[in-house]
Amino acid sequence: MGVITDNLDLWGEALTGTLVLFVGGGLLALVLGLLIGAMRVSPIPIARAVGAVYVNWIRNTPLTLVMFFFAFCVPILLRERIDPIVLPTIALGVYTATYVAETLRSGINTVPVGQAEAARAIGLGFGQVMTLVILPQAARSVIPPMMSVFIALLKNTTVAAGFSVLNLGSVRSWLAEPPRSENQLVVLLWVMVIFVVLVLLLAWLQRVLERRWRIAR
């Protein structure tokens, strides 16, 4: 326990960095993923094409390269200094949005086509059909796979350790340096324990959401 109690300041900053990356990237991924997912099932060919290009391009690019582009290329293009944690957070959101979009698309495809046709028959537009008819039904079926996406996002936050962001993925190297000089194996074991606890919290949230949706149904 001395590894934790003797370095509470550093552990607190590392945990905060991981949570900022996770929450910020997750919110961006939800918003962007919802937009891209809607484009993927849109009746407009151009929208479907743009959505497909985005998903196939970003999803097939390693996260490290995506983060490298945002961490190093974007500041050069904008010609200004940006907080080191902001750009990796955006990179995580942009990357994870592809998986959110595909998860939503799979959930949308589980809704019978007749539901959308009936909604259009009474005069609802595409946006109204999606928000009032399709998405509320699709949400029930996408909770488990969506939570898997966010668990993967939580673990992917460690990639930001290679881009000068203090989080749980980089706390080992910080604690290994003098004057702290902590046992690196013990530090890694504690990092593993913290991640297991965070994942268990997400699994608990999944069960709560599934139970609530099941009652609503």
Q: Domains, the chain, ranges and CATH?
A: 2-216 (1.10.3720.10)
- pLDDT given for residue 122 in this prediction: 79
Confidence (pLDDT) at 202 = 94
Render each residue's pLDDT in the chain as its tens digit; 217 residues.
Answer: 777 777 788 889 999 999 999 999 999 999 999 899 888 888 889 999 999 999 999 999 999 999 999 988 888 888 888 888 999 999 999 999 999 999 988 888 777 777 777 877 877 777 777 777 777 777 778 888 999 999 999 999 999 998 888 899 888 887 877 777 777 888 899 999 999 999 999 999 998 888 877 644 4
Among residues 31, 33, 29, 32, the alpha carbon closest in space to that of 101 is found at 33
Tokens describing residue 196: 């297991």
Virtual CA dihedral for 170, 174, 176, 181, nearest 10 degrees? -150
pLDDT at residue 217, rounded to an integer: 45
- DSSP secondary structure of 159-192: GGGGGT--STTTHHHHHHSTTT---HHHHHHHHH
- The whole-number pLDDT of residue 216 equals 47
What is the reported pLDDT for 117? 75
- Report whether 94 contacts 69 (CB < 8 A): no
Helix 135-156 to helix 86-109 angle, to the nearest 10 degrees?
A: 140
Does the pTM exceed 0.75? Answer: yes
- The rounded distance, in Å, linking the Cα atoms of 95 and 10 is 28
- pLDDT of the residue at 20: 95
Contact 26, 96 (CB under 8 A): yes
Helix H or strand E segment including 115: helix 113-121
